Amino acid sequence: MDPRPIGVFDSGMGGLTVLHECLVTLPHEDFVYLGDGARLPYGPRPLAEIRRFAREIAGYLERQGVKLIVAACNSATAAALPDLQRSLSVPIVGVLAPEAHAAVLATRNRRIGLLATEATVASGRYAELVGALDAGAELVPVACPRLVPLIEGSDPFGEETADAVREYAAPLRDAGVDTVILGCTHYPLIRPIFQRVFGRGVTLVFSADETACEVAETLARKGIENDGSREGAYRFLTTGDPALFREMGRRFLQLPIASAEHVEVATLEAAAA
């Protein structure tokens, strides 16, 4: 048994959708979540900058004594996962590979759409992962820069969000995809809008549950699970406003957030020095 917590990080709130699945899949484990609200969003930033941010956060969590890290951010996973795997002494799980695997299994016509941030699309990582699983599958990527601000805004289910989804869905519908990867951890919050736009004939893939299963399998394979008879705890850190994190975070986590601790960006930068 290993009582150390599991670290989870994202650029802000979206990774809480992944944390939710980890909490219900592994209720006996402790978790510490870090949202980098001060530098949100990651999507429009250069990949090299996102890679630096991910190294800083992962290094900080490692120094906090976590036993495994979940990069619950598609942009950070796309930009930095191989680099983090080389530099960290603890295992790290990303969110891209489980989604690519689920999409290849789900598609019937081998035409897969991807809706994601600009950085995730620019990285080309989804195309590499899908191609490695099925070289004959076609991936149609679309960057969606308007969605994260709308989802974190005051009216995530409003007409402006629906219009943006219709705009980004149009080239995927024209391409005849039958499966769409929701390649950003924010997107599941508005899943009903995506499903309305695409219809039931298109399978939507978001891998929070597959990611949680990969975390469970990694813990078991390495023999670092916690005592299965206990109820785990979770705590939250943010480089942004703790009050805003608590208020907005409940929307994504769908569980109570009693408090959030503030972490200075300079503290993260020092962890990677």
Q: Give the catalytic positions in this structure.
A: 73, 184
Q: E strand or H helix at 23, and its extent?
A: helix 16-25
Q: Which two tokens stand for residue 240?
A: 């942004």
The residues that bridge with 9 in the sheet, in sequence order, are 34, 71
* CB-CB contact of 236 with 262 (8 Å): no
* CB-CB contact of 181 with 115 (8 Å): yes
269-273 LR contacts (CB < 8 Å, sep 24+): 269/56, 271/56, 271/57, 271/59, 271/60, 271/62, 271/63, 272/52, 272/55, 272/56, 272/59, 272/60
Task: Count the residues in the chain.
Answer: 273
Q: What are phi and psi of 50, to 5 degrees?
A: -60, -40
Region of residue 234 (left: phi > 0; alpha: psi -120 to 50; beta: else): beta
Distance between CA atoms of residues 98 and 16, nearest Å = 17
